[in-house]
Amino acid sequence: MSTLTDLVYAQGLSNEADVEWLHRLAGDGQLLADLASADVVMWVPTADAEFTAVAHTRPGGAATLFYRDIVGERVRPQWRAQVRSAYASGQIVDSASPDWFEETPTRVRAVPIVREAPRPGEQPKVIGVLTRHTNLSEARTPSRQQITFNECADDLFGMISFGDFPDLSAPTGPRRGAPRAADGLIRLDVDGMATFASPNALSAFNRLGFDDELEGESLVEVVTGILPEKRQFDESLPLVLTGRAPWRADVDARGVTISLRTVPLRDHGTRIGAIVLCRDVTEMRHQEQELITKDATIREIHHRVKNNLQTVASLLRIQARRTHSDEARDALTQAMRRVSAIAVVHDTLAQGLAQNVDFDEVFQRVLKLVAEVAAGVGTQAKTHTTGTFGTLPTEYATPLALALTELVTNAVEHGLAGKEGDVEISAERSDERLEVRVRDTGVGLPEGQVGQGLGTQIVRTLIQGELSGSIDWHTLNGEGTEVTIDIPLRYLERDVV
């Protein structure tokens, strides 16, 4: 399914401000559908004077009329005249009589989508149309909550037709746990007095410690009486509680956290009150805090592991300097280099919350370390990389860093021993595989012969055993050696790839 942006641009609507406005409105589609207890469909005009559906939201507490998705479809004949009239006039157009959709009686309201409030005497600039499809087959005597919800929906649809909703000063990205209409709704008048509170909203405030009725009370005074003394609170809270700003805030008291979202209501630009949505997010905030604590603990563990590995590497370096055996010195130096490569990975992990690392950054640090340590007397190695490794989880990053450390070390120490040359590391990544090539301009290997040393054994174990990949050594035409590593990425999650 194409995104809203793709569908809008496909119809020739290319004004970025208009597209952003439609995105904002679609983001509040669930609020509109839940308050109206109706399906809400967004239509944009096409080049041939038709209309195409680019968004559709079903109500959460009522039966939907559209069991199949209609996004991407042209407007149906029974709604075409109504949608065209709303688009052309800039006025809300109601169906004159019940509309029948698949043997279900419905009431349809077409609402023009206006981005900017028109000046007196000017025709509003309409960029699309919302249709509100109410199922009349479930009609029954409405409760006071249903009547209030419907009134709030009417106010919001009126604001849409005047360019007052959505509000550009509202938060662009909804926070996790953002309240919905069914979670709790309070209707405020222009003075911030509660004229209605749904049962869920009253229950939420009861959990905060307020035992009286909310209706007839000032929401600011109610919350002020709930909040503990000397407790710091969000500076935006008073604006949210009075309904003056379309913001969000949390109220914490007695170990309970209530998330609030305010939607100011206006009539042709004049403020007439507000909707305050509330939701008990105590458990959600508790889980978020636990995750933050665990992430901090993991980062501290990586930091300590890195420090311990660096200590081990320092001890190996000191021991290598004091030994009188060339063979022992080489073995200790190689062990120090391997430990340092692992420390680089843990150092990168300690800097962020994610357990994935930017391997390009890691490898550049490892490469610099290897080139300095491996180059011997008379050896001048120039290393450079091409391509990108991308982001990898630690399960891949640590063994791959070690394997490449060994390969680059072998290329410098053996391929370029006592001479000047280049070592190139190229990476090519797709959704399914990561291919890495390590080339040097050294003496090369006899074709078909591969070293049997500890470094080669380590590389085989890491690539074939831990990464389920393959590795191949061969001599290039002319001179030098090329090692090819092929690692499957099918076990990685899509967002990592």
For residue 46, being part of any structural domain is answered with yes
Give the chain's domain count. Answer: 4
Residue 230 has a pLDDT of: 63
Residue 231 has a pLDDT of: 64
Residue 49 is which amino acid?
Answer: A
Q: Is the pLDDT of residue 494 over 50?
A: no
Q: Is the pLDDT of residue 496 over 50?
A: no
Q: Which CATH number covers residue 395?
A: 3.30.565.10
Residue 251 is which amino acid?
Answer: V
How far is it, in rounded angstroms, from Cα 25 to Cα 172? 11
| Phi, psi at 184, each rounded to 5° | 155, 130
**Does residue 412 or residue 224 have the better pLDDT?**
224
Q: Which CATH number covers residue 27?
A: 3.30.450.280
| Phi, psi at 138, each rounded to 5° | -100, 20
Cα radius of gyration rounded to whole Å, the chain: 33
Closest to 84 (Cα-Cα) out of 50, 117, 113? 50
Q: Is the pLDDT of residue 373 over 60?
A: no
Residue 410 has a pLDDT of: 80
- On whether the CB atoms of residues 333 and 323 are closer than 8 A, the answer is no
Query: Are 156 and 224 in a shared domain?
Result: no
Residue whose entry in the numeric block shows the structure tokens 């998330």: 259
How far is it, in rounded angstroms, from Cα 494 to Cα 183? 33
For residue 478, being part of any structural domain is answered with yes
Query: Are 485 and 462 in a shared domain?
Result: yes
DSSP state letters, 115-145: SSPPPTTPPP-EEEEEEEEEE-TT--PPPHH
Residues near 303 by Cβ (< 8 Å), separated by ≥ 6? 346, 347, 350
Residue 284 has a pLDDT of: 84
Q: In what order do the strands lie in the sheet with 256-267?
A: 194-197, 185-188, 270-280, 256-267, 248-253
**Does residue 75 or residue 337 have the better pLDDT?**
75
Query: Are 349 and 366 in a shared domain?
Result: no
Provide the percentage of residues in the chain whose pLDDT is more than 70.
88
For residue 169, being part of any structural domain is answered with no
For residue 323, being part of any structural domain is answered with yes
Query: Are 209 and 108 in a shared domain?
Result: no
For residue 399, being part of any structural domain is answered with yes
Specify the range with the lowest mean pLDDT, choosing from 21-35, 62-76, 323-337. Answer: 323-337
In this prediction the pTM is: 0.65
Query: Are 341 and 436 in a shared domain?
Result: no
For residue 175, being part of any structural domain is answered with no
Closest to 285 (Cα-Cα) out of 246, 252, 312, 241? 252
Integer CA distances (angstroms), 235 to 219, 248, 249, 285, in order: 16, 11, 9, 19
Domain residues for the domain of 216 are 181-280
Specify the range with the lowest mean pLDDT, choosing from 212-221, 290-299, 345-354, 429-438. Answer: 345-354
How far is it, in rounded angstroms, from Cα 64 to Cα 61? 9
**Does residue 495 or residue 286 have the better pLDDT?**
286
Per-residue pLDDT tens digits for 277-314:
999 998 887 887 777 777 777 777 777 877 887 888 88
- Look at residues 300, 328, 353 and tell me which one is the last residue of a structural domain: 353
First to last CA, the chain: 22
Query: Are 29 and 136 in a shared domain?
Result: yes
Query: Are 227 and 138 in a shared domain?
Result: no
The one-character DSSP state at 464 is I
Tokens of 361: 């950054």
Residue 233 has a pLDDT of: 66
How far is it, in rounded angstroms, from Cα 29 to Cα 233? 30
- Look at residues 131, 162, 193 and tell me which one is the last residue of a structural domain: 162
Residue 497 has a pLDDT of: 40
For residue 430, being part of any structural domain is answered with yes
Provide the percentage of residues in the chain whose pLDDT is more than 90.
37
Q: Is the pLDDT of residue 80 over 60?
A: yes
How far is it, in rounded angstroms, from Cα 401 to Cα 391? 13
Q: How many of the other CB atoms lie within 10 Å of CB of 341?
A: 26
Sign of CA dihedral 162, 165, 166, 168: positive
**Does residue 222 or residue 98 have the better pLDDT?**
222
Residue 71 has a pLDDT of: 92
Q: For strand 185-188 and strand 270-280, is the pairing parallel, antiparallel, or unpaired?
A: antiparallel
Query: Are 108 and 186 in a shared domain?
Result: no
How far is it, in rounded angstroms, from Cα 472 to Cα 134? 66
- On whether the CB atoms of residues 101 and 65 are closer than 8 A, the answer is yes
Sign of CA dihedral 176, 195, 170, 111: positive
> Helix/strand/coil (H, E, C) string of 33-45?
HHHHCCEEEEEEE
- On whether the CB atoms of residues 425 and 408 are closer than 8 A, the answer is yes
Per-residue pLDDT tens digits for 243-254:
999 988 888 888
Mean pLDDT of the chain, nearest integer: 84
What is the mean pLDDT of the segment spanning 425-433?
Answer: 89
Q: Is the pLDDT of residue 344 over 90?
A: no
Tokens of 441: 């301009």
What is the mean pLDDT of the segment spanning 178-202?
Answer: 95
Per-residue pLDDT tens digits for 138-173:
767 789 999 999 999 999 999 999 999 998 888 765
Query: Are 147 and 189 in a shared domain?
Result: no
Per-residue pLDDT tens digits for 111-145:
999 988 777 777 888 999 999 999 888 767 789 99
Q: Which CATH number covers residue 197?
A: 3.30.450.20
How far is it, in rounded angstroms, from Cα 138 to Cα 152? 20
Query: Are 364 and 342 in a shared domain?
Result: no
Q: How many of the other CB atoms lie within 10 Å of CB of 349?
A: 24
Query: Are 13 and 124 in a shared domain?
Result: yes
Secondary element (H or E) of residue 241: helix 237-241
Query: Are 94 and 122 in a shared domain?
Result: yes
Largest CA distance in the chain: 101
Residue 193 has a pLDDT of: 95
Residue 414 has a pLDDT of: 73
Q: How many of the other CB atoms lie within 10 Å of CB of 69?
A: 11
Tokens of 123: 């025709």
For residue 425, being part of any structural domain is answered with yes
Residue 34 has a pLDDT of: 96
- Look at residues 353, 377, 393 and tell me which one is the last residue of a structural domain: 353
